[in-house]
């Protein structure tokens, strides 16, 4: 029996290089070794999303990107969180065993309060309980996380442990699969690539659009003129070459340091590398986009497979809690 992996991602719409290099490639790889459940967590998005007009389009675009990148609905369960409403019921039940002070001390809650003081909603405090419900509803055993997400997973483990100690062994304590999520900087070369910050490169862009975006990238600030020697180690364009032109890294570094290559040519090389790497993905995405019925079927099938597991877990939970 393969172990079960669960991972959820907010519906952020068309995915960018940071999402692709940091999460999607890893999701695809995990399918070989585990039974994977990948979920677009639309309810979580509501904690900070006040305008939901784009929510459905974002879910659609994200699923298209996932499928085109190699997530296989025949191997994995791919679905949207709210399509399996059992998760909200389990969230309520788990909230009864979760001490409030565990939630109030969560650093991301404190950060969110600062970020959106006008919208400190109950969902923000309960976020880790919903996250726990996401995981334990499917009795997931393995959760791919970066080091920074370990405290969240630890809280989920504590909630699962507390439930088990009160009502008897029900949930496996989910284990972290520490995964290296490379920090991909945005075009500003300073902050993490993010759609909100507008420093991203969407993977579904056309080759020409990609070139235009790459051309706006900040490079080594000390290299002001073409004849100035560069410092590839501080240049974000160079760090992206690692993923898209790995065989040319040494040559690019040497030519940058001796000013044999200019930033314009170097960026062209990078866009060529990105465009070549993403060509099969883009072709598949364009083909999938012509088959909306297929995407709807994938989502419906994913939700119905997830629901089979969810209903069984919820029945067990309610029985143990004395609700049946």
- Dist. CA 243–CA 251, nearest whole Å: 15
Residues that contact ligand SF4, how many (by CB under 6 A): 13
Which of 29, 110, 192, 279 does the annotation list as catalytic?
192
Q: Which of 4, 91, 223, 285 binds ligand SF4 (CB under 6 A)?
A: 223
Look up 195 and say whether it is catalytic.
yes
- Dist. CA 222–CA 234, nearest whole Å: 10
String marking each residue 231-260 x if it binds ligand SF4 according to CB under 6 A: -x--x-xx-----------------x----
Look up 29 and say whether it is catalytic.
no
Tokens representing residue 143 in the block: 């959760």
Q: How far is the CB of 118 from ligand SF4 (least distance, A)?
A: 41
Q: Does 266 bind ligand SF4 (CB under 6 A)?
A: yes
H helices of the chain, where? Answer: 17-19, 25-33, 42-45, 55-69, 86-95, 100-104, 107-115, 122-137, 150-167, 207-215, 236-244, 249-257, 263-289, 292-320
Q: How far is the CB of 195 from ligand SF4 (least distance, A)?
A: 23
Q: Angle at CA 215, nearest 5°, toward 213 and 221?
A: 120
Q: Which of 35, 141, 200, 220 binds ligand SF4 (CB under 6 A)?
A: 220
Using the contact rule CB under 6 A, the part of the chain among 34-42, 228-236, 283-291, 296-304 near ligand SF4 is: 228-236
DSSP state string for 159-192: HHHHHHHHH-S-SPPPEEEE------B-TTSSSB
Q: Which of 219, 245, 271, 275 binds ligand SF4 (CB under 6 A)?
A: 219
- Dist. CA 33–CA 313, nearest whole Å: 24
Q: Does 22 bind ligand SF4 (CB under 6 A)?
A: no
Q: Does 80 bind ligand SF4 (CB under 6 A)?
A: no
Three-state DSSP state, 142 = strand
Look up 177 and say whether it is catalytic.
no
Using the contact rule CB under 6 A, the part of the chain among 88-96, 229-237, 274-282, 287-295 near ligand SF4 is: 229-237
The answer to whether 135 and 163 are in contact (CB under 8 A) is: no
Three-state DSSP state, 125 = helix
Report the catalytic residues: 112, 192, 195
The residues binding ligand SF4 (CB under 6 A) are: 219-220, 223, 230, 232, 235, 237-238, 256, 261, 263, 266-267
């Amino acid at each position: 029996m393969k172990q079960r992996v669960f991972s959820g991602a907010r519906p952020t719409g068309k995915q960018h290089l940071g999402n692709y290099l940091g999460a999607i490639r890893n999701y695809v790889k995990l399918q070989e070794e585990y039974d994977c459940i990948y979920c677009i967590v639309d309810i979580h998005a509501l904690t900070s999303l006040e305008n939901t007009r784009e929510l459905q389009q974002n879910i659609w675009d994200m699923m298209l990107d996932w499928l085109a990148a190699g997530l296989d609905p025949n191997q994995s369960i791919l679905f949207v969180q709210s399509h399996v409403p059992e998760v909200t019921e389990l969230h309520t039940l788990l909230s009864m065993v979760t001490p409030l002070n565990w939630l109030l001390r969560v650093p991301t809650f404190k950060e969110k309060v600062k970020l959106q003081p006008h919208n400190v909603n109950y969902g923000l405090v309960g976020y880790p309980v919903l996250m726990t419900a996401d995981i334990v509803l499917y009795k997931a055993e393995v959760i791919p996380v970066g080091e920074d997400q370990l405290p969240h997973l630890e809280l989920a483990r504590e909630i699962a442990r507390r439930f088990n100690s009160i009502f008897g062994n029900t949930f496996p304590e989910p284990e972290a699969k520490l995964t290296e999520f490379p920090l991909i900087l945005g075009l500003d070369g300073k902050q993490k690539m993010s759609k909100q910050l507008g420093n991203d490169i969407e993977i579904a862009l056309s080759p020409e659009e990609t070139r235009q975006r790459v051309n706006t990238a900040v490079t080594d600030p000390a290299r002001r003129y073409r004849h100035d020697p560069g410092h590839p180690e501080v240049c974000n364009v160079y760090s992206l070459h690692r993923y898209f032109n790995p065989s040319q890294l040494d040559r690019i570094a040497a030519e940058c340091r001796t000013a044999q290559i200019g930033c314009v040519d170097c960026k062209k090389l990078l866009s060529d590398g990105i465009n070549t790497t993403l060509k099969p993905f883009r072709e598949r995405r364009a083909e999938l986009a012509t088959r909306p019925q297929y995407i709807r079927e994938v989502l419906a099938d994913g939700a119905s497979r997830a629901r089979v597991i969810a209903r069984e877990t919820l029945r067990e939970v309610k029985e143990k809690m004395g609700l049946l």
